[in-house]
Amino acid sequence: MTELTETLELKLVEPNAHKHRKLCETKQAYQDALEAAFNANCTTQTEANNVVVNYDLSGYAKNALKKYVPQLRGGSYDAKELHDDHPVRFTNEGPKLDHKPQNAIEWYVKIPHHDDYHLWLPAQPNPEQREWLEALHAGDAKMGECRLFDRDGVWYFHIVATRDVEERASSASETPIGVDIGEASLVTVCHRNERGSPTEPNLWNDEGKRVRQLRETYFTATRRLQQRGSERIVESYGDSLWRQIDDILHTVTSEVVAYADQFENPVLVLEDLTHIRENMDYGAFMNRRLHGWGFAKMHAQLRYKAAEKGIRVETVNPAYTSKACHCCGEQGYRPDQATFTCSNSACWVSEYHADINAALNIAERHLSGESHSREHRSGDDSAEEGGRLTGPQDSHTDADTQQVTRGTPCVLKP
Query: Would you count residue 339 as binding Zn ion (CB under 5 A)?
Result: no
Residue range at the interface with Zn ion (CB under 5 A); choices 264-272, 309-317, 325-333, 359-367: 325-333
Cα(53)–Cα(74) distance, integer angstroms: 21
Query: Would you count residue 347 as binding Zn ion (CB under 5 A)?
Result: yes
Query: Would you count residue 327 as binding Zn ion (CB under 5 A)?
Result: yes
Q: How far is the CB of 332 from Zn ion (least distance, A)?
A: 7
Single out the residue of 342, 360, 362, 363 in contact with Zn ion (rule: CB under 5 A). 342
Cα(148)–Cα(89) distance, integer angstroms: 7
Q: How far is the CB of 324 from Zn ion (least distance, A)?
A: 8
Binding-residue pattern over the window 6 to 45 for Zn ion, x denoting contact by CB under 5 A: ----------------------------------------
Residue range at the interface with Zn ion (CB under 5 A); choices 66-74, 306-314, 339-347, 356-364: 339-347
Nearer CB in complex with Zn ion: 45/344: 344
> Closest by alpha carbon to 188, among 309, 304, 326?
326
Residue range at the interface with Zn ion (CB under 5 A); choices 18-26, 137-145, 211-219, 327-335: 327-335
Query: Would you count residue 328 as binding Zn ion (CB under 5 A)?
Result: yes
Q: How far is the CB of 190 from Zn ion (least distance, A)?
A: 16
Helix (H) or strand (E) holding 209: helix 205-227
Which residues on adjacent β-strands are paired with residue 8? 159
Instruction: Give a three-class secondary structure readout of 65-108.
Output: HHHHHHHHHHCCCCHHHHHCCCCEEECCCCCEEEECCCCCCCEE
Residues recorded for the chain: 414
Tell the burial category of 399 from Cβ atoms under 10 Å away from its Cβ (0-12, 13-18, 19+): middle
Helix (H) or strand (E) holding 313: strand 312-316
Single out the residue of 4, 184, 349, 399 in contact with Zn ion (rule: CB under 5 A). 349
For 368, which DSSP code?
T
How many residues of this chain interact with Zn ion, rule: CB under 5 A? 7
Residue 139 Rama label (left phi>0; alpha psi -120 to 50; beta): left
Query: Would you count residue 4 as binding Zn ion (CB under 5 A)?
Result: no
Q: Which amino acid is at 368?
A: S
Single out the residue of 28, 162, 341, 344 in contact with Zn ion (rule: CB under 5 A). 344
Residue range at the interface with Zn ion (CB under 5 A); choices 92-100, 197-205, 292-300, 342-350: 342-350
Query: Would you count residue 341 as binding Zn ion (CB under 5 A)?
Result: no
Residue range at the interface with Zn ion (CB under 5 A); choices 68-76, 337-345, 378-386, 389-397: 337-345
Nearer CB in complex with Zn ion: 160/349: 349
Residue 400 has a CB neighbour count (10 Å cut-off) of 10
Binding-residue pattern over the window 270 to 309 for Zn ion, x denoting contact by CB under 5 A: ----------------------------------------
306 within 8 A of 315, measured Cβ to Cβ: no
Please give the residues from 155 up to 214 whose contact with Zn ion meets the rule CB under 5 A: none
Residue range at the interface with Zn ion (CB under 5 A); choices 38-46, 181-189, 317-325, 383-391: 317-325
Q: What are the C-alpha distances in Å from 134 to residues 60, 99, 137, 343, 404?
A: 24, 9, 5, 42, 30
Single out the residue of 48, 104, 325, 356 in contact with Zn ion (rule: CB under 5 A). 325
Compute φ and ψ for 315, nearest 5 degrees: -120, 150
Residues that bind Zn ion (CB under 5 A): 325, 327-328, 342, 344, 347, 349
